[in-house]
Amino acid sequence: MEAIKKEMQQLTEQLLYHARRYYNDDAPEISDFEYDAMQRRLRELEVQYPQFARPDSPTQRVIGAVLTGFEEVHHPYPMESLQDVFSFDEIREFDRRMKERFPETEYTVELKIDGLSVCLEYENGRFVLGATRGDGKVGENVTENLRTVFDIPLEVETGHERLWVRGEVYMPVKVFERLNAQREAAGEQLFANPRNAAAGSLRQLDSSICAQRKLAIFCFNVQNAREMGFKTHDESLQYLKKLGCKVVEPYIVTSSVDEIINFIHTAGERRDTYPCGIDGIVIKVNDLAAREALGSTAKVPRWAVAYKYPPEEKPARLRDIVIQVGRTGVLTPNAVFDPVRLAGTTVSRATLHNLDFIRQRDIRVGDTVLVRKAGEIIPEVLGVDHIQRPDDAEPFEMPKTCPVCGAPVVREEGGAAFRCTGAECPAQILRAITHFASRDAMDIEGLGPALVQLLTEEKLVASPADLYSLHASDVASLERMGEKSAQNLISAIEKSKENPLSRLLFAFGIRQVGQKAAQALARQFGSLDALAAATEEELTQIPDIGGITAENLFRWLHSEQGQHLVSRLREAGVNMTEPDQRESEKLNGFTFVITGTLSRFTRQEMSELIARHGGKVSGSVSKKTSYVLAGEDAGSKLKKAQELGIPVIGEDGLLHMIGE
C-alpha cells in the first residue's frame, strides 16, 4: 500500500509540474500523449485507492464538463467597481480627502489588470465556488471553468472555515496573439483584445474550450479580510502569496503622492514587459479599519481610485504604405512611419484597413500623420496634417497583382476588400490548409489549426497537396505529438483521398463556392475535368450558381496556381469524380427549368430528384429546354416557356414521368 501511495504522490507532482510548464510557462516538456497516459494512470489509482487522492490532483481540474447555463451567485461581499481618475491633480485631491480624515494614511499602489473580475470561495481550504462579478451583487457560477485555470490553487492551508478571494482573470498577451492567429486561419472572427477573449473564454458552457485558452489570474483582495483578523491590505496580499495565490506585482506601499506618480510613470514605461494587459493603476487605502470608516457611495468605495492611462497621440512621418496579404487573401494596406513611443512601447506600423479608409482621409506617403494606440493595444492612424504635405505626395493605389505570389487581385463587388486569387499563395497557407482539412471539406480528423500551424512552421507543408506527402515520422517529431497520434493523422489523410468531388470542390476554398454549390456542380458535371471544360455561361445554368460564383470558379480553375494544385492532388491519388447516384435513366436527355413556389419540394430537393433520374436542371429558359416545372406565382420564365411553346408541367407531372 505504501508503494501505491508513493506512486500516486509522484504522479500528482509530475502532472502538476508539467501542467504548470504547459499552461503557465507555455513551455511543455512532454507530449500530450505522455501527459494523458500519466493522468489516466493516476485516475485509475484514485478510483481504487481514494484515501490517497490529493485534493489538488490534476484529475480534479474539471476539463470537459458541459453546462446548459450558468447559475446565479449572490456575493456575500459586494464586488464594487472603482472611481476612475485621469490626472495627477485628481490623485492629489483624493490624497487630500483621505488625509483630512486620517492624516497618516498610506496606500497600496497596484497594477490595474485589464481582465475579468471573479470571486473564489474556499471552504475549509478547498476551492468550492467561483463566480463572475456580474453587477457587483449577483454574478454567474463559473466554477467548472475556473477549475481549468492552473493559477488557482484547488486547496490551501488557510486555517479558516471560509475564505473569499477576489481576482482578475486574464488572457496572457502571447496566448491572445496565438489564439487570434488560429482563429484567422480557421476563418473565424477575431477577438478585439485580450480582455474580450478572456471574458468569452470564461463564459464557455464547455469547460474544455476554456481549458484550451490557457487563462491566468492575479488575486488582489481578501474579501473577508477583517473577519480573518488582518489590519492592512498589504498583510492580506502577503497572506495570499503564502497560500500559493498569484498576486498583482509589482506593488508598493507608500503615503507619498510623489511616489505614487513615479510608480505610475515607471509602470507605464514597462507596460509591454508585463504578461497581461494593464489599463491603469489602482490606489487603495491600506488600513482596513480606515476603509470601513470611509465606506462607499452607492456605486464605488470612497477609499480607492483607479488612475487610467490616457491614450497617447503623437505625430509621425509616413515613410511608406506596404501591403500585407492576410490568411484569407485580403490585401491590407499598412502605414510605415518614423518610430514613436506610445503606451510604453515603440511603434512604427499601423493598419490603414482598406483603400476607402485611405481615400476618406487622403493619406499619402510623405504626410505627417497622427498616431495613437486604440484601447492601449492596437496602433492606429487618426488623420493627416495636410499643411505639412510634401509637394510630390501622390494618391495611393492598390496593386493589380498579389505582392506575395503574383496572382491577379480583384475587388469584391460592392465591398471594400481587395483579394488575392492565388490558389497556393503562401500568405494564405494556414487558412487554406485548415479549411481544406475541415469537417465539411476533406474531413481530415485530427488536423486542426494548431497542428496546421506547427506543420507550416516546420516547413513540412506549404500547400494542401503537401499533406499527401507527409510521413508519420515527420509528424511524430513535432511538439505534443507521438507515434500513435502521428499514425492516426496519416491514416486520416490517406482516407480523405476517397472523398467525392463535391467535398474536394468545397475544400478548395473558392470564393462563394459553398457546400451546396459544390454539390450541385459535382452532380451536374460528374468530374473535375468536365467542370474545368465548362464555360462561364454553362456554369450559370446550374441552380444556385450565379454570375459572380461562376466567374470566381472559372478564374480559379484556369489559373496557373489552381491548375498546379489540381495536378499535384491528382498525382497523389485524390479522387476527382462524383459517384453516380442516379436511380434511373428515365429523365436522361431532358433539361428542366424550375420556376415558382413548389408545394411538396424545395427547389434544391426537386433539382436533386431530377438529377437522380438522369435529367439536368438549367437556370434559364431557352429552345434547348425540354420542360418548365412551374409552381405557384411563376413569373417571367413561365411566360417565356409559353412564348416558345415549351411544355409546362407541375410536380405531379414530374413524379408521373419517373413513375412515382
284 among known catalytic residues: no
d(CA 146, CA 117): 12
Q: How many CA atoms lie within 13 A of 271 on its CB side?
A: 23
In sequence order, what are the residues at sequence separation of 6 or more whose Cβ sits closer than 8 angstroms to the Cβ of residue 577?
A: 500, 501, 526, 527, 528
d(CA 177, CA 658): 58
- Whether residue 181 contacts residue 328, with contact meaning beta carbons closer than 8 Å, is answered with no
DSSP helix/strand/coil, 165 = strand
Backbone angles phi, psi at 546, to 5 degrees: -90, 180
Q: How many CB atoms lie within 10 A of CB 557?
A: 20
Q: Of 5, 99, 112, 299, which residue is the catalytic one?
A: 112
- Whether residue 481 contacts residue 31, with contact meaning beta carbons closer than 8 Å, is answered with yes
In sequence order, what are the residues at sequence separation of 6 or more whose Cβ sits closer than 8 angstroms to the Cβ of residue 307?
A: 84, 85, 86, 90, 91, 112, 264, 280, 281, 282, 283
Residue in 145, 146, 128, 137 with CA at minimum distance from that of residue 66: 145
Backbone angles phi, psi at 628, to 5 degrees: -105, 120
In sequence order, what are the residues at sequence separation of 6 or more whose Cβ sits closer than 8 angstroms to the Cβ of residue 336?
A: 318, 319, 320, 321, 322, 348, 349
d(CA 60, CA 118): 20
Residue in 332, 247, 542 with CA at minimum distance from that of residue 553: 542
Q: How many CA atoms lie within 13 A of 107 on its CB side?
A: 25
d(CA 330, CA 344): 31
The number of helices, as runs of H, and strands, as runs of E, in the chain is 24, 22
- Per-residue H/E/C for 86-128: CCHHHHHHHHHHHHHHCCCCCEEEEEEECCEEEEEEEECCEEE
List beta partners, residue 121: 129, 164
The torsion angle over the Cα atoms of residues 56, 57, 58 and 64, rounded to 10 degrees, is -90
Q: How many CB atoms lie within 10 A of CB 319?
A: 13
- Cell numbers standing for residue 609: 430528384
Cis (ω within 30 of 0) for the bond into 250?
Answer: yes
Q: How many CB atoms lie within 10 A of CB 504?
A: 25
- Please report where in the chains the cell 419540394 appears, as a residue: 601
Helix (H) or strand (E) holding 452: helix 449-457
Q: What is the DSSP letter of 613?
A: T
For the annotated catalytic residues, the residue numbers are 112
